[in-house]
Amino acid sequence: MAETIRVLKSEEEVDARIRALAEQIDAEYAGKQIYMVGILRGSVFFMCELAKRISVPVILDFMCVSSYGDGTKSSGNVRIRKDLDGDVVGQDVLIVEDIIDSGNTLSKLKKVLQERNTNSVRICTLLDKKGRREVEIEADYVGFTIENEFVVGYGLDYAQKYRNLPYVGVVEGIEE
Ligand code: IMP
Ligand code: MG
């Protein structure tokens, strides 16, 4: 069976949800500066759209961690492949992620950033597969809670494909 993509969240739905998240974040960080940490590569589309709509000062920085190969299963093993360029001491860090699945990646990362004497560390994720957690971790801001389906688009990939789709879709016909 060939791979096909079924639209799960349309471009318009994603756009509207990001606007609402940005408004909420803006209000909650009033008077502060947000040190946004994007997790490469999946979070970049979401991060840009979110950051553009926030009016408090925003610093953009990136980290790259590996927990997945080219397949669809978590290894539970998280390694920092690229660290932040900046210093986060005293900063209000907002981790921006594409999706939380097992929770392994973010629970590890949140601890790492908290240990750097940050003022606060919160998490904003576009998608949340709550039913798949292996470790306890809650995002502070969630775009959409979704079922246990493998999704692509809006930055998310399947074997590096489909990141540039302007919507979130489910890949059907994956041969495991
Ligand atoms: P976790 O450590 O299991 O929470 O994995 C989070 C990471 O796995 C995300 O940042 C994604 O890169 C990847 N991931 C999890 N589920 C999906 C999916 O449905 N599509 C694409 N990538 C996914
Ligand atoms: Mg990722």
128: how many CB neighbours lie within 10 A of its CB?
Answer: 22
C-alpha distances in Å from residue 98, one per residue of 50, 87, 145:
12, 23, 12
- State the ligand closest to the CA atom of 81: 2
Strand order in the sheet with 151-152: 4-9, 168-172, 151-152
Q: Indicate whether residue 105 lines ligand 1 (CB < 6 A).
A: yes
- CATH annotation of 4-172: 3.40.50.2020
C-alpha distances in Å from residue 32, one per residue of 28, 55, 154, 162:
9, 11, 28, 36
Q: Ligand 1, atom 20: nearest CA belongs to which residue?
A: 151
HSE-up of residue 81 (Cα within 13 Å, Cβ side): 11
Q: Indicate whether residue 125 lines ligand 1 (CB < 6 A).
A: no
Residue 43 CA to residue 46 CA, distance in Å, equals 5
pLDDT in tens, the chain (176 residues): 688 999 999 999 999 999 999 999 999 999 999 999 999 999 999 999 999 999 999 999 999 998 655 555 555 567 899 999 999 999 999 999 999 999 999 999 999 999 999 999 999 999 999 999 999 999 999 999 999 999 999 999 999 999 999 999 999 987 76
